[in-house]
Amino acid sequence: MFNLEQAIGGWREQMRERGIGSPEPIEELEGHLREEIEQQLKLGLNEAGAFAVGAQKIGSGQMLQNEFSKVNDYQKILRPILLIIGWFVGGFMLFCGVMRGEMEWNFFSFHPKWGRDTILTFALIIGAETGIWFLAKASRDRTSRIISLLVCLCLVGQGYSVLPAEAQPHIIPASGSDGAIARLVLHALLYRDASPIWFRGGAAMLLSLPAILWIWHEWQRVKQKRETVEPGNQALSSN
């Protein structure tokens, strides 16, 4: 008696034997196969006939292998390049956003203000952090992961540089002479009022967040790989 699930399982094994070893494309193809089987069943075919028509429409394993080989060759070249460009753009946007906030709120003296420029600054920072989240999730090849790590370390270095408090200006008695006034102006340009720790800590945290996201996704990747290997080892030991 025909068993649909066993037939689909055999079809999956055939796909693996033909070289489509990654789970993502096989799951995607299986989804299309099941949709096609469901449509054929609604048209009145039995399960065996619906499976045969669906498998024929999806394509043979060799044909799919050739198509996926072309796509994989293309992705091996283009995908890392796009990811690397994305990391540089995302890191630069984040740095510009934080520095823009620094200039708006902490130029010469700490003076918080809200307006259109501040909203644009926060939008730039949020957009950069969101893009970096997806980049960290998508960076799986070695090259893009190395570049992403370097970008994250550079941002952490910038965050560490903005964390210390600025030097406070010393009070220079103004005697009314041109020399005293010049020294006072020069001192005001070189030293500024110390900004609060929440502002400096927030800027440092924003610049360090990409590294946190990078570590999180790397840990999830290692954890997933370990969970995938352990069931295989248990199966081998049971045999």
* Shared domain check, 155 and 94: yes
* Shared domain check, 161 and 52: no
* Shared domain check, 50 and 93: no
Which structural domain range is residue 31 located in?
Answer: 4-59
Share of the chain above pLDDT 70, in %: 72
Dihedral of alpha carbons 125, 126, 131, 134, sign: positive
- Give the pLDDT score at 102: 87
- Give the pLDDT score at 30: 80
* Conformation bin of residue 44: beta by default, left when phi > 0, alpha when psi is -120 to 50: left
Give the model confidence (pLDDT) of 84-106 as tens digits: 999 999 999 999 999 999 888 88
Distance CA 158, CA 95 (A): 8
Lowest mean pLDDT among 72-76, 158-162, 205-209: 72-76
* Shared domain check, 226 and 174: yes
- Give the pLDDT score at 235: 47
29 falls within a domain: yes
User: Whole-structure pTM over 0.75, yes or no?
Assistant: no
68 falls within a domain: no
Amino acid residing at 138: A
Mean of the per-residue pLDDT values of the chain: 79
Mean pLDDT of the 130-152 span? 90
Lowest mean pLDDT among 26-35, 104-113, 187-196, 222-231: 187-196
